[in-house]
Amino acid sequence: MPSPRLRARRVSRGPLLMLLTFRFIHCYSALVHILLNTYGYISNWPVCRLAGKVAVITGGASGIGKATAAEFVRNGAKVVIADIQDDLGHAAAAELGHGAACYTRCDVTDEAQVAAAVDLAVARHGRLDVMFNNAGVGGEPQPPPLGATDLAGFDRVMATNARGVLAGLKHAARVMVPRRSGSVICTASMAGMVGLGAMADPSYGASKAAVLGLVRAVAAEMARSGVRVNAVTPGAVPTPAAIRSFAAWLPGKSDEEVRRIIEADVNMVVAGTVLEAEDIARAALYLASDEAKYVTGHNLVVDGGFSVTGGVASRSTQSE
């Protein structure tokens, strides 16, 4: 039978435990209230869709690549930014946090540098889950007539946009196939799907068609080893590179004016919206995540329907 002193101690603890319980419930309720006010519904709370995963992003220092690096890190991934823009690359990695991202110089026309970027990811993090072959060049801003085509220029564009993608596929396979897991994403273009006439150098269109061909060619082989391979095809995103390219057709226009023209006249297909780099980043996030576990050999087109309307929807909407 408990002593009177022990019974008294138990009685004195009772109110304290009740007080602590009420304080816990109060704090928990306050936290839930804050989160509900911030995110709306509990079902909409952010989810880390790439938690624990490691990604290499070529061309990750600016534009679509930088936006994708930020989206991946926001969703729990560690990212290696591989690019030739050293200052921008280091700045992007610092912005994302050196624990989450690092930069390495990588010219995708040099296979050894692509291999080194993949090896860096494995050395730092022990694995590679996502390879985003995003680096690319745009060809001649104002291509000459076909009869005056510079074949050396064609070779330069193909070396980056097609051969560079194949190098990324090769070295991703080298480390992903033994683990029987991984996702490879390749950036294509509307120019690889439809003829854009004077809007795109033929070498650029051919190189991006080659990207789609590579994805289809290797998807089945890689699928047998549990690795998915897909493409993402953006519309005209007003990245710095795109603005420079469009500026060649719009002499005298400022960068901001060129941006507005891209948004209003080139890309305005879905009424009331504009295409941003973050839209492509979210498409890449889906393809990289386990939500796309049964998606391979696919070309995810994010162009507001431009490739199936030729921009007709855009022009008719603006004229109404």
Are 81 and 69 in contact, with CB atoms under 8 Å apart? yes
Tell me how far apart the terminal alpha carbons of the chain are, to the nearest angstrom.
90
Q: Is 286 a catalytic residue?
A: no
Residue 37 CA to residue 286 CA, distance in Å, equals 27
**120 Cβ neighbours under 8 A, 6+ residues apart:** 80, 102, 104
Half-sphere exposure for 9 (CA within 13 Å, toward CB): 5
Lay out the sheet containing 78-83: strands in order across.
Answer: 101-105, 78-83, 54-58, 130-133, 182-187, 227-234, 299-302
Are 158 and 203 in contact, with CB atoms under 8 Å apart? yes
Residue 148 CA to residue 245 CA, distance in Å, equals 20
Are 129 and 172 in contact, with CB atoms under 8 Å apart? no
Residue corresponding to tokens 């022009």:
315
Residue corresponding to tokens 């603890």:
13
* SS3 state at 232: strand
Name the token pair of 202.
Answer: 């033929």
Residue 211 CA to residue 158 CA, distance in Å, equals 10
Given 28, 204, 286, 294, the catalytic residue: 204
**Between the CA atoms of 286, 264, 258 and 245, what dihedral angle is there, to the nearest 10 degrees?**
50
The amino acid that residue 2 corresponds to is: P
Catalytic residues: 204
